[in-house]
């Protein structure tokens, strides 16, 4: 288990031919998420209908293949979900990539994104897979500060020239 | 007793035959994992059996709290530490073993200097000069020292290959400079910084000069008499020794004038209710019970390095870098950072594959048992200056051979195929 199961043709197809990598006209919400140590930097966009149901989702930004494919697979799943349902998916995905839920258990709800379960064996990469989902979850919870999967204080420093 | 290496003292020409590997059998982890291409020695070296045995030998035969010396065993433990101190002094040409302070790692050595000398020497209007090549451990302590003292951090910038011009050195190091702290060899580009020239300039303005030797001391001869620095930090774990042992060398008069860093047991001569009298250098800087076994064992690592010999080490690491950089030059989608001359890389080669994130590269290489580092290498300002978020870094040591390099290159071609189909 590990990277050999991760870089599947399906994952790479999402990287090279993403379906949802675009700005979203009339986006109701947009939220940025970053992994400072990796340089992954994604913005998630959603358009909501009057009830608050997600009509469409997209993403923009750059990063490693895992963060990009994960964002694209996530965006695939969101159309027609209530915000509560979307946040439940984020929670399920988080538990899957931390190894608490198997790919098989998550497959019905996460569909293709369940292939990212093997990242639970690669601790340094979990944050790459999680970035889009945590960004979406924080956006829907009303957080305004950019999301990061690396919790820490802002650096201080002396003056520089 | 500690075993000596099976293959010491090959000539440079013999050691440069990288299709042969007379060293690997001395390294149990490498010998036991022939399928592994370990190319991350800049992060930590592998350890020869002599080092692993020395650690156990200390606990089997010498274990007592050193420095208290009231019984035979404690005297022997103290001797083991002092022998290691003397070995470190010989390794870097230090005049006196008292100039060697043991710390936990190179990072702690640099923090020690920033927190003591920095606090003492810096004030508003003063300048601390570092280079853009610095590892965070020779950067953040100085950012902190500047924030605390009101001094200004000044950056030296090289050209694209990592070379510093005379103009840059003269422009940045001037009368306001109080401390100049630079790495001797970059952990990202492998390039050597002209510490002696920088020190000459800094000393003209009576500035202190600190050198980070973490990537130089294990890979090339370092002689503090020629280096020109006043202080030098390095770690044992990158030099075949155990984790948890760092070294700070300082000129005796400089160390003696610095206030203590950590305080408490083992660093005092006398204590009253009102105050304390510090022990002489180096004990003044060695508060608390140290990793005596680790310090004693660090000598076994140095012994092995010196038995192999730096002429052989440099010749072999140069040959490995030549092979790797020659192969990478054949791959149009690979960019190599730093000097064009493999001989300037000290075994460290950073590279990127066009359009593929280094974390994806390293994860896929791992499936082929090729271990490299990918990321910002604790040098984020350098990578920002290079215009990248992260790089792949292969770092080689004398115990690597041509097969390790070829497996890396085949692995890179495999990664490209995964992303782009067959060649």
Q: Which letter does DSSP use for residue B356 in this model?
A: B
Distances (CA, A) of B277 to B78, B97, B201, B284: 22, 22, 36, 10
B378, B379, B383, B415: the catalytic one is: B378
Structure tokens that stand for B42 in this block: 């800049």
* Contact by Cβ (8 Å): A60, A22: yes
Report d(CA A88, CA A110) in Å as an integer. Answer: 11
What pLDDT is attached to residue B20? 96
pLDDT in the model for residue B423: 46
The average confidence (pLDDT) of chain B is 96
How far, rounded to the nearest angstrom, does the alpha carbon of residue B345 sit from its chain's CA centroid? 14
CA A146 to chain centre: 13
pLDDT for residue B422: 58
Given a cut of 90, whether residue A143 has pLDDT beyond it is no
Tokens standing for B422?
Answer: 């067959």
Beta strands B373-375 and B391-395, pairing class: antiparallel
Residue of A nearest to B147 (CA): A158
Helix (H, G, I), strand (E, B) or coil at B392: strand
pLDDT at A155 over 50: no
Residue ranges, comma separated, of all CATH 3.40.640.10 domains in chain B are 55-306
Q: Give every residue of chain B whose pLDDT is below 70, as ranges.
A: 1-8, 422-423
Checking if the pLDDT of A158 tops 80, the result is no
Distances (CA, A) of B392 to A92, A140, B336, B350, B373: 32, 36, 9, 5, 6
Residue A1: pLDDT over 90: no
Residues of A near B (CB-CB distance < 8 A)?
2-4, 6-7, 12, 15-16, 37-39, 63-66, 122, 124-125, 128, 156-161
Separation of alpha carbons B12 and B315, rounded Å: 5
Q: Output the CA angle B213-B404-B343, nearest 5 degrees.
A: 45
Please check whether the domain covering A3-145 is classified as CATH 3.90.1150.10: no
Per domain, the residue ranges of chain A are 3-145
Distance from CA of B31 to the nearest CA of A (A): 24
Residue A2: pLDDT band with limits 50, 70, 90: low
In chain B, CATH 3.90.1150.10 sits at 12-40+310-416
Q: Which of B140, B146, B360 sits opposite A66 (nearest CB)?
A: B360
> What's the confidence (pLDDT) of residue A152?
52
Q: What span, in angstroms and rounded, lies between the C-alpha atoms of B62 and B77?
A: 5
Q: What's the pLDDT tens digit per position in A14-58?
A: 999 999 999 999 999 999 999 987 889 999 999 999 999 999 999
B321: its two tokens: 């870098």
Burial status of residue B414 (CB atoms within 10 A of its CB: 0-12, 13-18, 19 or more): middle
CATH number of B12-40+310-416: 3.90.1150.10
Which tens digits make up the pLDDT trace of B123-141? 999 999 999 999 999 999 9
Backbone region of residue A31 per phi and psi (left: phi > 0; alpha: psi in -120 to 50; beta: other values): beta
Q: Rg (Cα) of chain B, in Å, rounded? A: 22
Name the phi and psi angles at B236, rounded to 5. Answer: -75, -35
Nearest residue in chain A measured CA to CA from B389 = A39
The tokens for B387 are 């215009």
Instruction: State the burial class of residue A153 (Cβ atoms within 10 Å of its Cβ: 0-12, 13-18, 19+).
Output: exposed
Instruction: Report how far residue B295's alpha carbon sits from residue B339's, in angstroms, rounded to the nearest whole number.
Output: 35
Helix crossing, A65-78 with A83-97: angle to 10°? Answer: 150
Q: Do A37 and B364 touch (CB under 8 A)?
A: no
The whole-number pLDDT of residue B351 equals: 98
**Which of A15, A37, A158 is facing B153, going by the closest CB pair?**
A158
The CA distance from B349 to B396, in Å, is 8
Which tens digits make up the pLDDT trace of B8-17?
A: 689 999 999 9
Residues 6+ apart with CB under 8 A from A35: A41, A63, A67, A127, A128, A131, A148, A149, A150
Check CB contact of B418 with chain A, cutoff 8 Å.
yes
Residue B146 annotated to the active site: no
The pLDDT value given to residue A154: 41
The pLDDT value given to residue B1? 43
Element spanning A47, H or E:
strand A40-48
Q: Which CATH number fits domain B55-306: 1.10.10.10, 3.20.20.60, 3.20.190.10, 3.40.640.10?
A: 3.40.640.10
CB A136 within 8 A of CB A113: no
Q: Closest Cα of chain B to A84: distance in Å? A: 32
- Mutant choice from B357, B411, B415, B422 vs A, greatest count of A C-beta within 10 A: B357
- The pLDDT tens digits of the residues spanning A61-115 come to 999 999 999 999 999 999 999 999 999 999 999 999 999 999 999 999 999 999 9
Nearest to A47 by CA among A66, A23, A74: A23
User: Cα distance from A85 to chain B (closest Cα, Å)?
Assistant: 31
- Three-class SS of residue A34? strand
Residues 6+ apart with CB under 8 A from A53: A80, A81, A82, A83
Scan for tokens 């988080």, then name that residue: A94
């Amino acid at each position: 288990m590990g990277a050999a199961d991760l870089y599947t043709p399906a994952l790479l197809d999402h990287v090279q031919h993403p379906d949802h990598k675009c700005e979203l006209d009339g986006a109701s919400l947009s939220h940025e998420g970053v992994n400072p140590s990796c340089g992954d930097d994604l913005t998630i966009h959603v358009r909501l209908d009057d009830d608050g149901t997600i009509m469409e989702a997209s993403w923009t930004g750059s990063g490693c293949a895992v963060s990009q494919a994960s964002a694209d697979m996530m965006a695939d799943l969101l159309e027609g979900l209530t915000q509560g349902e979307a946040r439940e998916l984020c929670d399920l995905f988080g538990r899957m990539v931390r190894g608490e839920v198997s790919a098989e258990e998550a497959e019905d709800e996460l569909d293709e994104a369940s292939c990212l379960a093997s990242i639970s064996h690669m601790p340094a990469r979990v944050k790459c897979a999680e970035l889009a989902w945590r960004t979406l979850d924080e956006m829907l919870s009303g957080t305004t500060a950019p999301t990061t999967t690396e919790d820490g204080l802002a650096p201080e420093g002396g003056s520089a020239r | 007793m500690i075993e000596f290496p099976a293959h010491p003292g090959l000539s440079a020409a013999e050691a440069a035959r990288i299709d042969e590997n007379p060293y690997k059998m001395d390294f149990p982890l490498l010998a036991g994992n022939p399928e592994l291409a370990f190319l991350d020695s800049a992060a930590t070296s592998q350890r020869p059996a002599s080092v692993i045995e020395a650690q156990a030998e200390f606990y089997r035969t010498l274990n007592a709290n050193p420095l208290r010396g009231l019984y035979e065993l404690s005297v022997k433990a103290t001797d083991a530490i002092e022998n290691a101190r003397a070995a470190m002094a010989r390794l870097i040409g230090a005049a006196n073993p008292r100039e060697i302070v043991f710390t936990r790692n190179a990072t702690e050595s640099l923090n020690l200097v920033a927190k003591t000398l920095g606090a003492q020497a810096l004030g508003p209007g003063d300048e601390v000069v570092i280079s853009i090549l610095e590892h965070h451990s020779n950067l953040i302590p100085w950012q902190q020292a500047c924030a605390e003292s009101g001094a200004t951090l000044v950056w030296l910038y090289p050209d694209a290959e990592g070379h510093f011009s005379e103009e840059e050195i003269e422009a940045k190091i001037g009368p306001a400079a109080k401390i100049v702290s630079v790495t001797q060899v970059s952990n990202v580009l492998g390039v050597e910084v002209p510490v002696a020239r920088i020190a000459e300039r800094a000393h003209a303005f009576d500035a202190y000069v600190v050198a980070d030797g973490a990537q130089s001391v294990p890979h090339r001869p370092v002689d503090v008499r020629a280096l020109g620095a006043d202080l030098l930090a390095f770690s044992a774990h990158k030099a075949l020794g155990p984790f948890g042992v760092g070294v700070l060398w300082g000129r005796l008069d400089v160390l003696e004038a610095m206030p203590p860093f950590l305080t408490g047991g083992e660093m005092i001569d006398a204590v009253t209710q009102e105050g304390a009298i510090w022990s002489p250098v180096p004990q003044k800087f060695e508060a608390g019970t140290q990793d005596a076994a680790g310090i004693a064992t660090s000598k076994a690592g140095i012994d092995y390095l010196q038995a192999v010999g730096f002429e052989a080490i440099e010749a072999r690491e140069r040959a490995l870098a030549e092979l790797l950089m020659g192969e990478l030059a054949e791959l149009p989608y690979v960019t190599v950072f730093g000097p064009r001359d493999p001989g300037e890389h000290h075994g460290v080669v950073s590279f990127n594959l066009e359009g593929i994130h280094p974390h994806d590269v390293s994860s896929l290489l791992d499936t082929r048992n090729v271990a490299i580092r990918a990321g910002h290498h604790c040098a984020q300002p350098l990578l920002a200056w290079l215009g990248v978020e992260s790089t792949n870094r292969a770092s080689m040591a004398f115990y690597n051979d041509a097969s390790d390099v070829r497996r890396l290159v085949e692995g890179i071609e495999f990664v490209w195929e995964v992303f782009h189909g067959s060649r």
